[in-house]
Chain A
Amino acid sequence: MLPSDLKTEQFNGYPPEARKLVTDHLVALRNLPLSFVPSLLREAIDYDFKFPPERKALEQELATLKSLSAGETVEWFQRFSKISLSTKLERFDWVNLPAQFVEQLSAHLWTTHQLDAFRVAANEYADRLRASARQEKPSAPRLGIAVVGQGVASYDEPLFRKLRPHGAYFNRVNPENGLKFLLDAVATRAQAYPTPYGHWYIDGGLEAHHHSALTCVSYERLQPVRSALLRKMQGEIERPGMGPEALRTTLAQMRPADLGMAQEGDQVLDRFQVKLLTEGSGTQIFSTVFAQWAAREALRRAQPVTLLVRFAPRQRQKPMNELLSPNTVAPELDVIGSLIDADMGAYYNWLNQQRLPGADEALFLVWFEGHSQALAIAPSMPRGTESTTATDLAQILSWIL
């Protein structure tokens, strides 16, 4: 089936808001190539469970597509139209299983050496879309905070090397009550600029006491969900004929209730957390990876005004099968390895923050927990500098906010 054959009733399996959104724009979708439409439907089918910025972006994208003239549509999608697809892909139920289609499309593009052409088409489309939409700045300059190195007694190697060219490095920071101060600071912002899912606290361990205005995700809090997921994965893998593609498909279809999450919970946040574990790689086993991926996805999807990420020690590496087995014994921790992971993770947090609107005004702070090293990035901070003056986190934040 091709997009030109799309009919309203084919979307009866979609959640209600997603169904309405798509069917309202069906005329526009019918004019688009098959190499493109399922990628859009993959986002649209989850519309009911998306964060506000994602919903808005999707609405804007569909409205833009609807507004294109016939000539503009041809111009915008000519590169996608040149992508050659297989009959197998055309026959796939891409309306109801768009994510699985996109996965198969990806394999097809690699195999037929069309990946580079598809990348060009996708980047060109993204550029056109960006140019057509108004980029809304956040209600306040975005603030990202990364707290790294929990549990590390001492570390002599240089930290924040990738971030140093972009900000000011401090090596005489008073660490006393640092975490509490930072959590209070983000809570203050959450109250000053109230936005749904606008202020986040992600913890790679068990979350510290925090204000209820913060959207909180923690690795330890998800322990029962992670265990349930690992049990299901073990069960699936033992089934005859189960391969990596089939396992990925099974994981992609898991819902919060499948993993024991309460029905009455926050459906948007619960789905977000399940996706972190079912779509992320390594998030099920390494807390540092979970924290980094959760931050990436929160920034990409919810575009928070404030994001505090606290990395915690991950378990030591073991054979993969052992890591993936639900285990009740407290694992041995790798605190130094976790600090190195988190140092890179903080850099990725900053990179991901800089991809959002308002990047030129965005603020970032990384602190070696319990120690005297920190680094701040802000328009007011001289880049690539180092300060040996005694200070504390309150003062540094006051300089950048």
Chain B
Amino acid sequence: MGTRLSFTASSTSKKRKVVVITFGGGARDQETFAPEGQENIPHLMREFIPQAGFFTQVINRGILGHYVATASLATGVYETINNFASLPPENPTVFEYFRKDLKRPSSDAWVVAPSNGFNRIGESTHRSYGPGFGARVILPKHLLTAAMAGRSADYEHLLRDNYETPYYTPELGGREFELQQLEMILKLSADDFKAHARTLSSPDELSVYIARQLMRQLAPSLLWITMHDIDVAHAGAYSLYIEGIRRTDRLCAELWKAIQAEPEYAGKTTLLILPDFGRDADDDSAGNGFQHHRTGDALSRTTWLLALGPGVREGVVYDRAVDSTDLVPTLGSMLGFSASLAQGKPIKELL
């Protein structure tokens, strides 16, 4: 491990960037990369796979709730925080390792998160890290609500918050992205933002729009985008679940194109895409198939990881199982920091 770290540290530079997309809200293999699901992800299949390293088995051994699982992905430790409470992770996040070890400013690590419940994900309570070392978190829906000043009727399709418990929207606390920062950081007037938002059809489209603004204006080296549209599956309508997967596939392609088009990112950005976990198997009688992720069966715990960008061997499929908690140590090796408290190990094939 020491050898690997010294090698990667010497091969990284301040110019290297990483974008992580969580392929939102739990998606099963059979609706994505399994043969019968490939029609739902034409962009990932045709444009990404030929130039990507693809891991067919990423195992999540933690709690299968979206907030806690995303927090686990971001810390490299299986977090046990309440999935429905507005709580920070207990272990240092990838953003804290990155900023503290590499002495990066707060503008260099950002999270674009889908719902108000994710507003604390950028910074842990860990006493060696925590306050002052985390990522800035943007909640596009919160931003839109603020921009609307209470008149949100035209935008409600973009403000869906939590599909699992649709009535529950935690009150915001901690680091909020203030409305005035819309203009100061994203260089967007509230009117322009509202006008563009009206052309979008889903919360994830809003997230991608904000992420692109961030890339253009601040060009953070570590950008984490959590998609969530797919989690509409909890409502039980299969067509909406599939629609969510197809939209997320398209948005991933749009982001990759944006990465290629932005001078700050082109040619020096590694993109990693992975669902936080799967969903229940059709043949597990304890569940109701795609609708939920409650059984903890193998299908709901097993998903995939796709990586592309400089240094990634193109068109290679890896069937060995890796762990969800391996993501943070891998990012550490890529960017040159030590994720010393993470449980996972760097994925050597990506280094």
Contacts and interface: CB of A to CB of B under 8 A. Distances in A.
A337 B288 contact: no
Contacts of B156: 318-319, 321-322
A238 B85 CA distance: 18
B160 interface: yes
B126 interface: no
Given A113-B78, A319-B160, A321-B156, A292 B63 contact: no
Interface string B39-52: 00000000000000
A344 B237 CA distance: 9
A115 B296 contact: yes
Given A281-B291, A348-B289, A247 B236 contact: no
A324 interface: yes
A212 interface: no
A347 B84 CA distance: 32
Contacts of B236: 280-283, 286, 288-289, 292-293, 341
Nearest to A287: B237
B240 interface: yes
Contacts of B243: 337
Contacts of A237: 167
A114 B199 CA distance: 46
A345 interface: yes
Interface string A198-220: 00000000000000000000000
Given A244-B165, A319-B157, A324-B167, A289 B282 contact: no
A119 B235 contact: no
A344 B168 contact: no
Contacts of A317: 232, 237, 240
Interface in B215-271: 232, 234-240, 242-243
Contacts of A281: 234-236, 291-292
Contacts of A283: 236
A135 interface: no
B234 A318 contact: no
A110 B63 contact: yes
A390 interface: no
B173 interface: no
B242 A320 contact: no
A277 to B, nearest CB: 13
Contacts of B180: none
A233 interface: yes
Contact of B168 (A244, A282, A336, A348): A244
Given A319-B157, A320-B160, A351-B282, A282 B237 contact: yes
A340 interface: yes
Interface string B61-86: 11111000000000000101000100
Given A111-B80, A244-B84, A348 B288 contact: yes
Given A244-B84, A296-B288, A351-B283, A119 B296 contact: yes
Contact-size category for A: 35 or more
Interface in A253-302: 280-283, 285-286, 288-289, 292-293, 296, 300
Interface string B289-331: 1111001110000000000000000000000000000000000
B285 interface: yes
A164 B282 CA distance: 16
Contacts of A288: 236-237
A398 B285 CA distance: 31
B159 interface: yes
A337 B239 contact: yes
A282 B238 contact: no
B166 interface: yes
A321 B238 contact: no
Interface string B195-225: 0000000000000000000000000000000
A116 interface: yes
The 9 closest A-B pairs by CB, nearest first: A289-B236, A282-B236, A244-B165, A340-B239, A320-B166, A282-B235, A319-B156, A337-B239, A344-B238
Interface of B: 36, 61-65, 78, 80, 84, 156-157, 159-161, 163-168, 232, 234-240, 242-243, 282-283, 285, 288-292, 295-297
21 contacts: A113-B61, A233-B167, A237-B167, A244-B164, A244-B165, A247-B165, A281-B292, A282-B291, A286-B237, A289-B236, A320-B161, A320-B166, A321-B156, A324-B167, A337-B243, A341-B239, A344-B238, A345-B238, A347-B282, A351-B282, A355-B285
Given A113-B62, A247-B168, 6 more contacts: A243-B84, A247-B165, A282-B237, A288-B237, A300-B285, A340-B238
